[in-house]
Amino acid sequence: MKRLLFLLLFSLSVTLSGQVVNFAKTLPERAWSVGLAPAWHIDRNVILFDAGGASFALNGGYGLLYSLDLNARYVYFMNGTDYIGVDMQYLIHEARKSYFSVIAGLHKWDQFGFDMTGLFTYMPRYEVNLSIGLDLDLSFAPEMNPRMWVPLNVGFNINEMVFLFAEYNLPVTERSWDIVAVGINLVLR
């Protein structure tokens, strides 16, 4: 039971909706998380590409209810821009080895914007989590600037406090770019 509870804690303790780190399980009630996720943003002749190169994300979360958590993140891009975002995640469906949730929030990244993500996670074993989803970001500039990705994520439960992950965000729209990230997350009770 203790291992199952740990898995639930980590399966979505890091939600950086809209670029890097996506899992479908919410944090348990009154649990805190903190994480670090370096990433590489790859330009492929993207329209309005402003995120090239390396970035470093610091994120934190808090479990409000069993099926609802609150997350905040700060991302520093080596090219000088900053991303600040806040979102809430709602667990829609939970089964023995799978989870489905939605995430919605706001961000400030040169302009203000809205993030929305739908995620599915499957756990073939306790130590391994596999996630896929659809991530949509809208920036409210003089014109709408929609970006969409398919996040592909694999996570590893190292022990009761440490979760390691790797993620590739596959671009879907012409305004999106490739993102590769790795990271570590800690859950504190």
pLDDT, averaged in runs of 10, over the chain (189 residues): 39 40 72 93 73 88 93 90 92 92 91 93 91 92 84 89 92 90 90
Q: Tokens 């592909």: give the residue.
A: 152
Backbone angles phi, psi at 6, to 5 degrees: -60, -45
Beta partners for 36?
A: 58, 184
Residue 83: Cβ within 10 Å count? 21
H or E element that contains 7:
helix 2-11
User: Residue type at 34?
Assistant: V
Alpha carbon of 80 to those of 75, 76, 143: distances in Å?
10, 7, 23
Q: How much is the pLDDT for 17?
A: 38
Contact of 176 with 149, CB cutoff 8 Å: yes
Residue range 2-188, CATH number: 2.40.160.20
Please give the Cα distance from 118 to 61 (Å, whole number): 18
